[in-house]
Amino acid sequence: MRGAKLLVVAVVVALCLAGFAALVSSAENAPAKIPSLNDQAKNSPLGSRHWNIFRNVYNNPEDPEQTRCLSCHSAVVIVDDPKAQLPDFLRKGQKYCYEELENPAPGQSPFLYKEVTEDGKYADNELEGITCRVCHVMDKNGLTLRRPDNTCTLCHGRVFNWKTGSGHHVTQDFIEGHGETYWSPSVHYTLGMRCESCHTMNAIKHDYEPAKPEDIVRDGKCMGCHRSADELEKMIETTKKTVSAALESIDARVKAAQDLVAAKKVKDAKAAETLIAKAKARYAFIEGDLSHGVHNPQFAGQLINEAFAALDEFDKLVGKATKTAPVNLGNLMVYSQAQSSELGNRHWDMLERTIFNPEDPDQDRCIVCHSAVAIVDDPKAKVADFLQKGQKYCVQELTNVPPGQSPFVYATAEQDGKYVKNRLEGITCRVCHTFDTANGTIGLRRNKEQTCGLCHGRAFNWNTGSGHHVELAFFKGQGSKEKGVPDMPSLKVSMGFACQDCHFMDNTKHDYAPATPEQIAAHPKCKSCHTAKEVGERIESIQKEVKAALAKLEPRLAKAKAYVDKNPQNAEAKELYIQAQAGVNFVEDDFSYGVHNPAFARALLERSDKLLNQFEAKFK
């Protein structure tokens, strides 16, 4: 009996030990515990700054607009009392800033303070800062966003002040690329992304920190462009390093310039101060964004180069010849190629250029490409929707104008347009592409030909001898039976080639420029027929031949035009001249100097030559 009891005890002990061992093993193999959302927000570097921000603000009261900050920086206010004021949170005797002077006297503090005379009604509040209930509400539908459209931008959406060269919480303004005289939006902004797309990438990420490269390349919104975590991390670090080094240089040069002005070693002190202010403002905007350029690398590069240019101009005032090498952040991303390259920049800024040089009455039609907002959100948008009150735009171009009169008739915008804040994006990524966030893929918004052909596929007008964006028509060799010009498509058309086969040869090339001979010779579609040397020599030969023919025709056409202007009733002379000019116009408006369709270019210029021979034989 005793032996049986001992056996039972031994079995129980063994089972307990086994269970303990299993628990230990289970604990060792269990997945890492994910911190609670509250802990993420409270304990991460950025999260802690938000969570405790109100306490920090009122202990360092140097912002006269703190009352406005309360809408976010105290959860009690935003939830319970939207009319609360800063003194409501302070104790008797505490001071707070109510005004900041623009031009304080030497040695005077720019901040004016008031003292609280009695404890505020929220003096015992925990000074929560930005907690869960600042952004979220809990109701019958569960946890929802309090402000879906401006969750972050209510605070981080303040506008940089170019007059004073200062700004606070200007992150969104930096992302949108609010330059002093232009807009240069980040690609992520043009794609419709917002702060939370990176800073709270999914429901379990609430530390306010930017997403890690390895998380970005797995996210459906991002993986179509960002495929390598290592490459993305390198790009981010390169941007930060480049921008930080440039800012250090600007800061040092600004201080040195200020010392020279203070020592009265600059003759034109007013001009010097203007240049210093220009450099300081650009420095302040980049610093105020706090991302070291990552939020909008292209814009950061533009601001840095503008600051350097201003400081180089300052150096001229003191007799120094300085030419600072430009900072180039355009090679970091596909969209930066589009913004930085010669052809790409013309596309990216096209709407802004068009509106501020408004000499095309067909601008409303241009909007469908030249503003991403219009093509994606509002196909009925008009040019006036993008203008500020008082700006002028062309509504008509007259055909027969008296000498000295402008052919353009303008209208004036009577009120700010509904897309004034669109930043006049021009041809950005989402004009051509769709983004499937569910599958993480990028596609073309239209078929292959119409991706470029929607704009560059307009027909040439043989009756008037004129055309605009006729590259596809030239490539296809658009003739006219009525004028006796046969169609003559390029050989590449029959082979199924489209514009982007040369102008966007692979996914990493988005500068709009034609492929180089080396790229062509290395491409699978081309290398069986072409070598780099042969392609280079052929392109050079075609363009040389076409340019030479155009140069010979130009003075002859000028003489023919002069005759027609003096004899406007001579219908035969006028028609010969128009058709001779038409061939030249078609070749020139294609902009490739014959490369898009060499045989067609040659045929058109030979036709113009023959028509001028007839003209010159009949009309002296």
**pLDDT-derived band of residue 13, with 50, 70 and 90 as boundaries?**
very low
Question: Is the pLDDT score of 540 beyond 70?
Answer: yes
- d(CA 420, CA 242) in angstroms, rounded, equals 32
Inter-axis angle of helices 229-262 and 269-289, to 10 degrees? 150
State the distance between the two ends of the chain, measured CA to CA, in whole angstroms: 139
Nearest 5°: the CA angle 303, 305, 310 is: 95
Structure confidence at residue 20 (pLDDT): 47
**476 pLDDT band (50/70/90 cuts)?**
very high
Cα 485 to Cα 467, 583, 604, 605: the distances in Å are 16, 10, 8, 12
As a whole number, mean pLDDT of residues 254-274 equals 94
Q: What proportion of the chain, given as a percentage, has pLDDT over 90?
A: 37
Cα torsion angle, 611, 616, 618, 620, sign: positive
Percent of the chain with pLDDT over 70: 85
Q: Could you tell me the pLDDT band of residue 532, with boundaries at 50, 70 and 90? A: very high
Q: Which of 307, 302, 301, 300 is nearest to 322 (CA)?
A: 307
Q: What residues does 145 pair with on adjacent strands?
A: 136
Pairwise pLDDT comparison (161 vs 342), residue with the higher score: 161
Q: Which residue has the higher pLDDT, 191 or 126?
A: 191
**503 contacts: CB under 8 Å, gap ≥ 6:** 452, 512, 513, 514, 515
Q: Would you say residue 436 has pLDDT above 70?
A: no
Question: pLDDT-based confidence at 462, cuts 50/70/90?
Answer: very high
Q: What is the pLDDT of residue 507?
A: 62
Alpha helix positions (H), 447-531: 448-456, 471-475, 491-494, 499-503, 517-522
Q: For 296-324, what is each residue's pLDDT tens digit?
A: 988 899 899 999 999 999 999 999 999 99
Report residue 95 as tokens: 């001071």
pLDDT of residue 269: 92
Give 433's DSSP letter.
E
Q: How far apart are CA 127 and CA 471, in angstroms?
A: 64
Which DSSP category does 466 fall into?
Answer: B
Residue 604 has pLDDT above 90, yes or no: yes
Top-confidence residue, 222 or 125: 222
Distances (CA, A) of 213 to 195, 218, 396, 437, 554: 16, 9, 51, 17, 57
